[in-house]
Structure 1
Amino acid sequence: MLLYTRLAPPKVPKRRSRAGDHLRRPHPLSHDAAQAIHDSHGANYPGWTDDEFEHVLLNDLRDLAVKSPLNSPFDTASLLNVSPIDIPTPSEIEPSVHEFPPVLDEDEAASSTTGDYHAESSGAAIVPHSRSLYPDLAMIAPYQAGSPLLEFCSPAFSEFSDRPNRRALVDHFCNVLSHLIVFREESGNPFQQLVLPLTQKSSPVTNAIYALASAHLEYRGVENTEKSLYFHNRAIQGLAGLIQQGNKVNRNEVLAAIMLLVYYEVLVQRGRSNIVDGHLKGALTVMCTNSEPSDPTSDFLERAFRFYDVIAALSNGSAPLSAAPAAGCLLPFPPLGAPAGSPLSNVDTLLGMATTLWPVLHRLSNLLPLKSELRLAVRTNATSSKIAVLRTELESTAEAIEAALTQWQPILPPNFVPDEDEIKDPTFTVRVTEIRETQDQAADGTCPATPSSPTFADRARIHSILHNALAYRHSAFVYLYRTIFTYPRAHRLVQMHAHLSLTHCVATVAHAGPMGALLWPLFVAACEAVSIEDRELADRAFEAVKKRQGMMNIERAWEIVQEVWRRADLAEIIECLQPDRSNSTVDGAAVGATGCSQDRTLGSMSPAVVCDGDDDRTADLWRQVSKDMGVNIVFG
């Protein structure tokens, strides 16, 4: 797969004698249309005669057919079927030899910068003032494809814009980005099936897609004449206009614009910003106040909201905005048209095999705010009854979550059993879905759809998704023991679950399956890595995720992990030299593993939650490092 194309000189047609000219078939296009096409392609075929150009053009038109993602069942993979595994890194992209100048609308001309371009004296052409040092969107613009209209050659995604750079952004969103952030798409990608159609009537959704795709390309060193920040600002302005319409606005348009902007903010990671929280609050308001009936698009967008609501809460140490889903109420959300007998049954589009784990993670994300409330009550000498209530609630909830994590196992898709030597996890038990006929099916004589056996590619993908879910489980244990129970980093349970989580993270990337949701479990486990073996596992996993996903938050997270290791190692050296100073600080971070008494057993949290002192001393070391580095990462 190529992320960009460069038109190669077509083969020169064999010249025929004048005697054979009468044997040539008449051109199917009108003379005016053919001339227009020739003019538009003149830059690509300099010095060619009309006969030579028409011969090559006819060959192109016979071989190519365009499918509009807005007028088809959104099988854009059939238009430009690519694999995210082959996404080139910036070092693999050759320098650009072409640049598209910006084509400005009248209402944009005044606000856009045109200093890099100047017009020729004839006024007929606009050329770059200077070439970019980095690749630009001219290299990845969708290839000119034949149109079913037969009267002209229409570029792919031309219904979105007449600008090549913007069509390239849609192409990048459809054929690269949308594949990086889902687990399941055997019958189509939900972002293409459900979100892309909203662009027909919603410019904020369109601009949010432009912003997200442009930011992803900018991180990879691909230049665009219109920056991602420009599209982001237009999307924000358009979203504000939609919200002002109140109940008249289409709920899905607002939710889609908001969620795309959340993805954008997570990707670019602009310092210590609370913009993600603001967007999530806006989405929750729309979900709660809009009474429109649900449909697949709203269900999918609300699932995306639930994912980021929990991840943002775990990242920021704040309570989630939404209520915890009841056990069993979250069912896997498949792509539209997914067959009942799919080998990816039980796999959610956005949550993978962790659908049934998500209610537990939601409750887990509530514990740190509750612990902070208890600590504040102790510090401010609140009434003993209030402290007792908060303590009881925290301890009982934490113990219930620990029990739920211990009992939880992912339910595997039908007809799939992991390889015996694949999962080296003593806490994992194989639970395969059983398919039985229901009484109704037996009564009317119909048979249930029997899931097909997974292919080799399916098995690799399922293994990757399974390891991802198990990494979430073990990192949830690490978070519970380290952040809530405040166990020392060297505690047996902390190190056991950190090692198992890192093992599953490496297995996830080794199978080259979906990695879009892997950052939180990878980060949580990596921060507690002590041994050389575990740190090498973290290094391998981070390197693979960075290469596949190409997003700023992954790079920032890896920088924080390495700084955590440096400070933790230095703290251990100081503790060894000064064993009586367990609460010393280095670089503003806690040296002592807990900042409190460490003679605790599992389930006895009292010394941790009532510990006096500065909040920074008892907080996670990585939170202090993040604060010192001036970043606030959402690990989604």
Structure 2
Amino acid sequence: SRTRTGCLTCREEGYKCDEQRPYCGRCVRLEKVCKGYGLVLKWQACKTPRSLNNTPPAAGNDDISLGSATPHHQQDTEAVLAVNPSYIPPDIDPETRRLLHHWTVTLAAVVSMAPTSNQNPFLVHLTPMLFRSAALRFAISAMAASHLAVLHADGSMETTASRHRLRAVSSLRQTIQTHDPELSLAAILMLQVSDRLFTADNKVNHLSGAKAVITQGGGLAGWAGSSAQFLLGVSFYHDVLSSVSRGTTPLLDLGGSVPSEGLPCMQELASVLGLVGTISRMQGQAPELDRSQAHAVEEALEASIMGTAGDGAGLDDIGHTTRAYRHAAFIYLYRVWLSSGAPHPSTAGHAERCLYHLSHVPITSPLASAHAWPLWTAGCESVDGRARGFVRDRLDAMFSVRHLPSLRRMKDDMEEVWLTKDAQRSLTGMDDVDCVRFILENRQREADLA
């Protein structure tokens, strides 16, 4: 008999599922498309007051535009979403329905770092907004189409993604001054995430728009609700890592006060990101101010690492990820502050320990979604063949689970950086290659760190 729990793929095929997320172990092992977790959606017409009185629904009800939904119907939809964030109402066109279904059962788990013990905040907070914001709906549909294009090697889905992306931008331009700021910020952030994960040549920085919307919404004091905190957490994460990949100052000044994805269990990771943002602000400062801030950041990082066992015994996935971020932050600090090349004692040890902590997080863990930056930072400092082999294998494994083009680009970038660093080191015994700047200058785009 078929199993009643587990991912949809195992349930359909009648096999026991180990329920690892975002993809189960059986699907990863057999290289199957894991369809994720949640309800099996059956597209039936909603029972409105008219249908309850046995009056037949109007023909073509299945393809009604969301824009024409009545307030009563929207309230019913939002009530269902409060109980089941994966719910998709039936009154949408088949193409959008397929894309949003992929978002709810698969892609939302790929982009979120939320531990499996929590409900996925991308579903909890964004899915109810989908039916109030065409721009957000188009942005998420574009991202889902891009992911399906990779999963099935389907070029037509990339065309679909481009169409939805253009519609998202157009809709956002028309409504950004009149919509609820939360809806506008959600759409902007999904365009940012989509571009970073799927688009190689897009040089648009949506975060400047995010800053404007946050200001329009009353600044930090005006973003107090749970959905607002989630959006601020996502903004902060991408803003800090974009400051690293662009070699610029962060646009937002949140200081690590907002936990990643709005989850209290991620507060420690957000605090480390706040220190990374401080390091980014040090670039181009006067030497005496730079030195003072650098010592303060170094002391903060050292104090936090001294608080746990040296080998990280007993740490969970969040703990190992946070420790990896701390060691990556040390490397970033010494690069900005001391311009230290590789190999260098001050960075080599941190690179080794960073990779150690990353290796203790299962590749199927949601926390692996946040591993691009520490993996890149430690990988760029590694000169040992075994360490580089781990980075290559880890990126391949991350791609096999998540199917994100950014991971392929990151591996290609890493190989080119290593070739350049090795050539320089063979001549001088040390390299002074700034890996992020190397990608900016040679690829004419940012490194994929988020």
Classify the TM-score, shorter chain. Answer: 0.7 to 0.9
Query: Partner of 1:436 in structure 2?
Result: none
The one of 328, 347, 351 equivalent to 2:265 is 347
CA contact (8 A) 1:515 1:549 kept: no
CA contact (8 A) 2:21 2:366 kept: no
Query: Partner of 2:106 in structure 1?
Result: 176
Q: CA deviation at 1:631?
A: 3.4
What per-residue deviation string (whole Å, max 9, x for no partner) do you get for residues 58-81 of structure 1? xxxxxxxxxxxxxxxxxxxxxxx9
Query: Partner of 1:44 in structure 2?
Result: none
Q: CA deviation at 1:185?
A: 5.2
Query: Partner of 2:175 in structure 1?
Result: 242
CA contact (8 A) 2:373 2:449 kept: yes
- Amino acid paired to 2:326: R
Q: CA deviation at 1:334?
A: 5.8
Query: Partner of 1:61 in structure 2?
Result: none
Q: CA deviation at 1:358?
A: 2.7
Q: CA deviation at 1:165?
A: 3.2
Cα distance change, pair 323–143 in 1 and its aligned pair in 2 (3 A): closer
Greater mean alpha carbon deviation, residues 555-564 or residues 502-511: 502-511
The two structures have a TM-score, normalised by structure 2, of: 0.78
Query: Partner of 1:628 in structure 2?
Result: 442
Q: Does 1:357 align with 2:171?
A: no
Query: Partner of 2:70 in structure 1?
Result: none
- Amino acid paired to 1:268: F
Query: Partner of 2:148 in structure 1?
Result: 217
CA distance in 2, matches of 1:539, 1:293: 40
- Amino acid paired to 1:519: A
CA distance in 1, matches of 2:396, 2:181: 39
CA distance in 1, matches of 2:237, 2:88: 33
CA distance in 2, matches of 1:84, 1:542: 16
The one of 382, 385, 388 equivalent to 1:532 is 385
Within-5 A mapping of 1:21-32 = none
Q: CA deviation at 1:167?
A: 1.7
Greater mean alpha carbon deviation, residues 299-308 or residues 479-488: 479-488
Query: Partner of 1:316 in structure 2?
Result: 246
What per-residue deviation string (whole Å, max 9, x for no partner) do you get for residues 298-327 of structure 1? 11101111111101001110100112527x
Q: CA deviation at 1:229?
A: 0.7
Within-5 A mapping of 1:382-461 = 390-409=286-305, 425=310
Query: Partner of 1:72 in structure 2?
Result: none
CA distance in 2, matches of 1:622, 1:290: 33
Q: CA deviation at 1:173?
A: 1.0
Q: CA deviation at 1:501?
A: 0.6
Query: Partner of 1:75 in structure 2?
Result: none
The one of 223, 227, 231 equivalent to 1:301 is 231
Cα distance change, pair 237–142 in 1 and its aligned pair in 2 (3 A): farther
Query: Partner of 2:187 in structure 1?
Result: 257
Cα distance change, pair 356–5 in 1 and its aligned pair in 2 (3 A): closer
Cα distance change, pair 268–145 in 1 and its aligned pair in 2 (3 A): closer
Query: Partner of 1:55 in structure 2?
Result: none
In structure 1, the residue corresponding to 2:269 is in which secondary structure? coil
The two structures have a TM-score, normalised by structure 1, of: 0.56
Where structure 1 has 5 or more consecutive residues not aligned to the other structure, the ranges are: 9-80, 95-136, 336-345, 371-389, 413-422, 431-458, 577-591, 595-618
Query: Partner of 1:286 in structure 2?
Result: 213
CA distance in 2, matches of 1:513, 1:621: 27
CA contact (8 A) 1:317 1:369 kept: no
In structure 1, the residue corresponding to 2:89 is in which secondary structure? coil
Q: CA deviation at 1:560?
A: 1.1
- Amino acid paired to 2:298: E
Query: Partner of 1:584 in structure 2?
Result: none
What per-residue deviation string (whole Å, max 9, x for no partner) do you get for residues 483-505 of structure 1? 43112301112110011111111
In structure 2, the residue corresponding to 1:475 is in which secondary structure? helix
What per-residue deviation string (whole Å, max 9, x for no partner) do you get for residues 500-522 of structure 1? 11111111235734211110010
CA distance in 2, matches of 1:566, 1:485: 23
CA distance in 2, matches of 1:236, 1:396: 43
Q: CA deviation at 1:5?
A: 9.9
Cα distance change, pair 332–236 in 1 and its aligned pair in 2 (3 A): closer
Q: Which structure shows the higher helix fraction?
A: 2
- Amino acid paired to 2:113: V
Structure (1 or 2) with the larger CA radius of gyration: 1
CA contact (8 A) 1:319 1:369 kept: no
- Amino acid paired to 1:259: L
Query: Partner of 1:599 in structure 2?
Result: none
Q: CA deviation at 1:2?
A: 5.9
Greater mean alpha carbon deviation, residues 561-570 or residues 156-165: 156-165
Cα distance change, pair 310–293 in 1 and its aligned pair in 2 (3 A): closer
CA contact (8 A) 1:501 1:525 kept: yes
CA contact (8 A) 2:399 2:408 kept: yes
Where structure 2 has 5 or more consecutive residues not aligned to the other structure, the ranges are: 1-5, 14-18, 64-85
CA contact (8 A) 1:216 1:267 kept: no
Query: Partner of 1:192 in structure 2?
Result: 123
Cα distance change, pair 295–502 in 1 and its aligned pair in 2 (3 A): same
Within-5 A mapping of 1:471-486 = 471-486=324-339
Q: How many pairs align?
A: 397
CA contact (8 A) 1:357 1:408 kept: no
CA contact (8 A) 1:269 1:633 kept: no
What per-residue deviation string (whole Å, max 9, x for no partner) do you get for residues 80-139 of structure 1? x984223967x9469xxxxxxxxxxxxxxxxxxxxxxxxxxxxxxxxxxxxxxxxxx9xx
Q: Does 1:274 align with 2:189?
A: no
CA contact (8 A) 2:45 2:90 kept: no
- Amino acid paired to 1:394: D
CA distance in 2, matches of 1:411, 1:266: 34
CA distance in 2, matches of 1:324, 1:318: 16
Cα distance change, pair 240–511 in 1 and its aligned pair in 2 (3 A): closer
Cα distance change, pair 621–199 in 1 and its aligned pair in 2 (3 A): closer
CA distance in 2, matches of 1:497, 1:355: 20
Q: Does 1:227 align with 2:137?
A: no
Cα distance change, pair 286–366 in 1 and its aligned pair in 2 (3 A): same
CA contact (8 A) 1:269 1:631 kept: no
Query: Partner of 1:201 in structure 2?
Result: 132
Cα distance change, pair 82–173 in 1 and its aligned pair in 2 (3 A): farther
Q: CA deviation at 1:526?
A: 0.3
CA distance in 2, matches of 1:228, 1:498: 37
Greater mean alpha carbon deviation, residues 189-198 or residues 303-312: 189-198
CA distance in 2, matches of 1:93, 1:85: 10
Query: Partner of 1:573 in structure 2?
Result: 426
Kindly report the root-mean-square deviation, in angstroms, between the aligned alpha carbons of the 2 structures: 3.5
Q: CA deviation at 1:400?
A: 1.4
- Amino acid paired to 1:466: G
What per-residue deviation string (whole Å, max 9, x for no partner) do you get for residues 150-185 of structure 1? 999999966265433322211211121211223235
CA contact (8 A) 2:407 2:448 kept: no
- Amino acid paired to 1:631: R
Q: CA deviation at 1:567?
A: 1.7
- Amino acid paired to 1:230: R
- Amino acid paired to 1:239: L
Cα distance change, pair 488–574 in 1 and its aligned pair in 2 (3 A): same
